[in-house]
Amino acid sequence: MLPFDFHSPVEPLDFPLFKEKGIKVAIKRDDMIHPFISGNKWRKLKYVLQTAASLGKEHLVSFGGAWSNHLLAMACAGAKFGFRTTAFVRGEAISNPNLSLCSLFGMQLRFVSRAAYKDKTLLFDQHYRRDEQAYFVDEGGCSLEGARGCMEIFDELTQSYDHIFCACGTGTTLAGLSMAKAAHGGPTQLHGVPVLAGGTFIKDAVASLSGTACADAIILHTDYHFGGYAKTDPALNTFVKTFAAQTGILIEPVYTGKLCYAVFDLAARDYFQPGQSILLIHTGGLTGLLGMHEQFGLPQNANVL
């Protein structure tokens, strides 16, 4: 067992809209698990790291874009739990606050062309096949072990909810939730909000990790991607600002902003029955905001004296 376990708290979200619709909405603060090994990235790494340690591996090798929350989580977790870390970073060599943090945690960064990045197994084999210590960790922590870690989000809950929502990138978090739901039983409906365009692929991703029965039981809301991965617009940016200013809880436009926007929009459209309870999973990833000062640096309400 890794010496690190944290049950994230659940907090109510008291917005007039929810009161008006007679629904109770709460948010599970997985963003509070750790500032850098944040949210679902800790959940997804937990059993991956345990397996690596049990195999005697001391060097984690993974993959991601320059803003990858997964790479930052792995860099910090590697430093904390005694692994060397290397990342293949997609695209030309650049510097940004996320990669600086990865470097500070001792991660070695190796930039690779988009073409070469496509075949991750080949990259790993070319560079680390002869390194007995090297352990392959898939992009985003996507794996069955990752899903197993995410089951614990559900296991930690102390009450049942009519609906549970999470944002989806690879679908690993939703797969974990659906495995836990299948194990616990109960009436909870699980929902995913894909942050990429064409998000129906998440069904197949969940099916391949947790089986078709689990995949058939989820509902995907595929119209909240705002143009695609990491795309945003003024409405979403304003929503993110208003949410943060009214709750003291930070969200960001790439994942949790789209999740929260979707739940607000569904509530406004009377998607939920009065009396129902809804839980949102805050999957963390707030360091992405460090690259968004253009959107958020100059607030409309700034006072210039």
Q: Could you write out the DSSP letters of every residue in 133-176?
A: TEEE--GGG-SHHHHHHHHHHHHT-SS--SEEEEEESSSHHHHH
Task: Tell me: does residue 253 bind ligand PLP (CB under 6 A).
Answer: no
Of 10, 13, 33, 39, the one binding ligand PLP by CB under 6 A: 39
Measured from the CB atom, the residue of 188 and 256 that comes closer to ligand PLP is 256
CA-to-CA distance for 103 and 108, rounded, in angstroms?
A: 7
CA-to-CA distance for 181 and 177, rounded, in angstroms?
A: 6
Task: Tell me: does residue 167 bind ligand PLP (CB under 6 A).
Answer: yes
Q: Is 160 a catalytic residue?
A: no
Task: Tell me: does residue 257 bind ligand PLP (CB under 6 A).
Answer: no
Task: Tell me: does residue 168 bind ligand PLP (CB under 6 A).
Answer: yes
DSSP 3-state assignment of 291?
A: helix
Provide the minimum distance between the beta carbon of 32 and ligand PLP in the complex, in angstroms, as a whole number. Answer: 13
Interface stretch with ligand PLP, choices 35-43, 83-91, 93-101, 177-185 (CB under 6 A): 35-43
Residue 123: count other Cβ atoms within 10 Å of its Cβ: 18
Strands lying side by side in the sheet with 59-64: 108-112, 84-90, 59-64, 134-136
Of 226, 255, 264, 272, the one binding ligand PLP by CB under 6 A: 255
Interface stretch with ligand PLP, choices 5-13, 39-47, 75-83, 98-106 (CB under 6 A): 39-47
Q: Find the catalytic residue in 8, 62, 68, 178.
A: 68
Of 64, 78, 149, 171, the one binding ligand PLP by CB under 6 A: 171
Q: Encoding tokens for residue 168? A: 């989806």
Interface stretch with ligand PLP, choices 9-17, 122-130, 169-177, 232-240 (CB under 6 A): 169-177
Measured from the CB atom, the residue of 188 and 210 that comes closer to ligand PLP is 210
Measured from the CB atom, the residue of 78 and 169 that comes closer to ligand PLP is 169
CA-to-CA distance for 145 and 154, rounded, in angstroms?
A: 15
Q: Encoding tokens for residue 158? A: 């102390």
Calculated CA dihedral for residues 105, 249, 234, 163, nearest 10 degrees = 110
DSSP 3-state assignment of 225?
A: coil
Give catalytic residue positions.
68
Binding residues (CB under 6 A) for ligand PLP: these are 39-41, 69, 140, 167-173, 255-256, 283-285
